[in-house]
Amino acid sequence: MPATDAGAPSTAPGTAVSATGTAAAPLLVVDRVSRRYRVRATGGSAAAEARHGRRSIRRRPTRGSTVTVPAVNELSLVVDHGEAVGVIGRNGSGKSTLMRMISGRERPTTGSVHASSTPVMLGVNAALMPTLSGEQNIILGGLAMGLSRQEVEERYDAVVDLSGLDSAIYRPLETYSSGMASRLQFAIATSVNPEILIVDEALNTGDAQFGDRSKARMDELRAQAGCVLLVSHSIPTVREMCTRVVWLDQGDLIMDGEPGVVTQAYVAFARALAQDEPETAERIRSDARRDLVMPTVTATPPPRRGGR
Ligand SMILES: Nc1ncnc2c1ncn2[C@@H]1O[C@H](COP(=O)(O)OP(=O)(O)OP(=O)(O)O)[C@@H](O)[C@H]1O
């Protein structure tokens, strides 16, 4: 797998990348990736709030004030063939930012992403055309993902079956419920058998019947030697579908391991926060983080041609 500096995932030939704890070449290596945003703010600072002991609404916004938001901090992750990795964490913990960097939609501020092939990201906002029918969106979506017209036609029935939309497939997308639209997106995105598939919340709006079908499709994708990253707030979905779970909080990787173990710790953490027990929550978080072993990524230069 090739190496690159910060930017879209590298998939071109070049330097090989290996990581601790992996047997074969991994499909995806995230190497000490960080993302910071510089954003305009209306002037309030945590320090000022602490000084005054309360929040206040400013009469006039402060001009030209900017703050840095650390969305993801020096995070490393290695994903192997056949893994379905659940990504969990409270709102604003950096899950979507990490997925955008893995898919190449966004550049890391520091660090690099290495992928064996271009990851396909399926999100609730993925581009479908609202005025076109489901049928037309399947054709356009397939062509946009690089399938030939013949391949689109060969896969058409399977996509419609997986979406479960029946005759609604002939109606404009803008008349679909959000659950129907996400089912169609999932069916289109998985029609290309991507080696690395990223699903960001899209499954949560489907009903129970679609949940079963999409789980079966995820299992198929994993069996085809690919891997899946699933971002979700639904702990049952993650437990059901994933072989491994990572927990992010405030941009940090907190835990990476068995779905049962990681989700149990996260649920205990979230419960402590909900019950206004910040010290308990912090203890759970720091205990989990102490046991975390981040992979070390090693770049091996390509063999020299014709060298002595
Ligand atoms: N384009 C952006 N500009 C500025 N800040 C951003 C941007 N995108 C994300 N952030 C900030 O980065 C942090 C992480 O956001 P992110 O969307 O990755 O979290 P998340 O874990 O996916 O949250 P959620 O569960 O609510 O979807 C948040 O503080 C967010 O405000």
Query: Three-state SS for 195?
Result: coil
CATH 3.40.190.10 fits domain 16-54+61-119+194-300? no
pTM reported for the whole predicted model? 0.78
Mutate to test the pocket of ligand 1, among 37, 102, 238 (most ligand atoms within 8 A of CB): 37
Tens of pLDDT, residues 132-166: 999 999 999 888 877 899 999 999 999 999 899 99
Range list of β-strands (E), 159-294: 196-200, 227-231, 244-249, 252-257
Measured from the Cα of 99, ligand 1's closest atom is 18
- Give ipTM to 2 decimals: 0.98
| Cβ-based neighbour number of residue 219 at 10 Å | 13
Tens of pLDDT, residues 195-227: 898 887 655 555 666 777 777 777 777 677 689
Q: Which tokens go with 227?
A: 């891997």
Residue nearest (by alpha carbon) to ligand 1 atom 31: 92
Domain segments of the chain: what residues? 16-54+61-119+194-300
